[in-house]
Structure 1
Amino acid sequence: MKTIVNKILVTLSLLLVFSCQEEDNVFGDLSAPTNLTVQATVVGASTVNPNGDGSGVVNFVATATNAISYKYVFSDGTTANAPSGQLQKRFTQPGTNEYTITVTASGKGGVSTTTTLTLQVRSDFTDAEAVQFLTGGSQKSWYWSASEPGHLGVGPNSTDATQNYYPHWYQAAPWEKAGSPDSSCLYENVLHFSLVGGQLKFLLDNGGSTFFNKDFNSVVGATSSSDGCYSYDTSGLKTVTLSPSESLVVGNNIPNQTRGTMLNISDGGFMGYYIGQSSYEIMSITNNRMVVRAVMGGNPALAWYHTFTTIQPVQDPITDYTNLVWSDEFNTDGAPDTVKWGYDIGAGGWGNGEAQYYTNSSNNVIVQGGSLKITAKAQNLSGSNYTSARLKSENKFEFKYGKVEVRAKLPVGGGTWPAIWMLGENYATNTWPACGEIDIMEHKGNEPNKIHGSLHYPGNFGGNANTNTTMITGASTQFHVYKAVWSPNSIKIYVDNVLFHTVANSGSLPFNANFFLILNVAMGGNFGGTIDPAFSQSAMEVDYVRVYQ
């Protein structure tokens, strides 16, 4: 027996020696890479422009003996892996700046060699306005605009100018992801943008769980074939650089096209929904609303759209109002009912540089054939080149909270600016925008079929209103129902019962007092834009106005 055991031990020893020899053959030379060199070419560098052409682009080529991969670490806070050693980097800090670049060549077994170089690079790209919007000058938090339709959506990354700016294939309904534990984590995201020493930074607070696209579930070891929420660590301050967009959208001269700025997050950072992408194209941005677009990692045919807001949406109980308390069906021909409507008369631009003179003449306002017709005309009156009308329920009907429905067909023509809106009744003593304004519908004849819904209040008014838009068909050839549902918790704006804008209401906002209704057609001005020289006349036709509480 002892002899047998000895033979077994000898055999095992031989096997171990053979195995070690095999391992040596597999790994080969485990010494650190040698002869590491890095060539850096600043694009556009010349005798006249030694620091480049202002694009900020530098091409790097690293080589080393026995290296199998390379890593670049830049002093602007970004890093990049380059298995081949070749890398193109865009430096985006405005002006001419010196950067330190550390390059590490890794060999077999994890051994490495490092070298460092410095470069001076000029970048002419800047988007200071976007940085101001993102950070407010110091730090600002952003949330998924969960109450908006299409706050998450996907469409083709295409050169087709009718498709490439909009999530045609899928748009999330308001609060769609809130109903399931597999997706509700998305709305827990808080995106923090800040300025630290003049450098834009980003921190994603995901509440401990991230909503993953199904194609990237393997990142967390999941095998599900559906999108889902998984525990994932997003801690750590990321560096953000801005660069010119190279999107397919740029230059197509289409509505809602890109701002032309890319937002690039270092170290694999992302904006809440994991799609294997760290670069986002800013489509639009204001002080309180941002839409970005990102090409899906590994699938350049897909473009995802995200909408964020600085006012955290609150999912309030469904509020509807069904008791009809006031209406005008416009069934009696002649002048509008004086019990229900008064007028604003005159010109002066109305605070917006408008070109019309408002009258109460039947040439501009009349009930006829079951509709109210407010007609804007190319007509000289008291120094104005156009006339129109503006009706209001001030001092006749004012209310707080409810549902407003107006069925209307809009005028046609460049420069026309029809509006269905409400104004705080205390505007005389609580000067606009403190009194508040709710624009249920605004339309530009220069942008047919694009409907605007907006709220104006302190901090958000004029060109910085809390606003959104939606596209419809036949705005000037068909009647559509424009609706607002106004409650203590929210103001929701619809077209044909499709919600397209929601704003959370609170005691700090002016939308908790009486308002009155206004119907008008303006011409030109800050919003209406250039008036078509061939314009003669066109009307907004209103089938009914109904208020429910």
Structure 2
Amino acid sequence: MKYKNILSRVYSYLAVALAASIVGACTPEEMDGGLGPAPTSESVEFSMAPTQDNPNIITFTNQTPGAFKAIWDFGNGNTAVGDQVNGAFPVEGTYTVKLTVLTRGGYAYNTKTVTIAETNVSMLNREDYNFLTGGADDEDGKTWVIEKEVKGHLGVGDASAPNPTPNWWAAGANEKADVGLYDDEMVFKLQGFSYTYINNGNTYANKDYASELGGTNASADVTVAYTPPTNMNWSITEENGKKYLSISNGGFLGYYVGESKYQILALSENELYLMSSQKGVPGNAWFYRLVPKGYVRPVEPKPVKMEDMEDNFDEEGNLVWKKEALTLNESYDNPAPVGINKSAKVAMYVKQEGQPYEFANMFTDFNYNFDLSQRNVFKLKVYVPSYNDFITQAGEDWAIKNLLKQVSIKLQDGTSAQPWVNQVEIKQPVDKLDQWVELTFDFSAFKDRKDLNRIVIQVGGEGNFIPGIFFLDDFRLE
């Protein structure tokens, strides 16, 4: 395979930005003695010489009088800081190397050109290059796509956290199916370090940056008609022990947040996991999970078993409840500590008013699939206050529009993109108000199912827009 002409374009602005950041970080010791004369381009001097063992690795030495910082841009997407540094140029071609120096009088820069006579293929045989592009033998490059089937394929989190994760929001499986993101293809080639973004005519953009792609900024993220440039390149650099993937000419991967530089969190044959900042909002860390086109991540089968389950809301149970459009207090004073339930604490289940709360659920997931062949009966105590409005009707046309005196338990496959499709459900009416009653949910009719691993509790029915307050206690598997 022949390499020629090309690497990345000159990133002059990187060096200027880096210089500016260093000026702001100068210590009093570095600036001691006051300002000196402003440096000029002519005063910025440096030498360059190929290393003895490899003519494609050049040693650069800063020779500028009075400089206390030297920032290098090698013209191939890589940068360095120091008075003597090495720059690697695996591909033949001519590169403009830029040195920016800081003195007490300010900063200035100068450039020189480096000509590399021959491509050193051995320098391109890097594991990260091969994983990203398919290597020297793959002339068509490697095509990556968003891993839409996996939760967290797109997400946002706190960039200031020691180990940022998409803890603020993580896209569920196929959650963005209608925004034009999942048919986007990102092609990386080793030849020419070229990058091609195939978006099939439209691109999903953060609401604040749609105008940069020719659209209109909006109140929510938006899909815009956009034609990507054709002359983009990629580079991988290392800074402070972290690797970064950068795209030239304003290029990006799939979802646009105003940035073209991504920290590489994971890169292997079948995974590309990246994090970027958000332009103008450095506190936001965006996450992108990609896989090779056509790749399907193997799913480790869950074990099939049944273990004790209980939660009395007075003590630590062995269940972790999650909420969906629900207000849940898991340690609320028992409103009626008499009769069959004299415990001090119960769970208060609050369904709010309106369409956004028509599916108010509490649920818990398990790392195994249920074995319902031997144990399949759940019990739950419930207190339904009479002050709820069970008369007013408002809701979806397909639903019963009243708030219902009812408790439903559903068993689902929580790993499915649509877990409700193959769920099993038992509904129990509550015929006594203002007192504790115990309900039994017998799933023995489903004892042959081996694909269920989530328990959902829903009170008051679904599809209605009526608010309601309920109390729950002593959930257990018999």
TM-score (norm 2): 0.43
TM-score (norm 1): 0.38
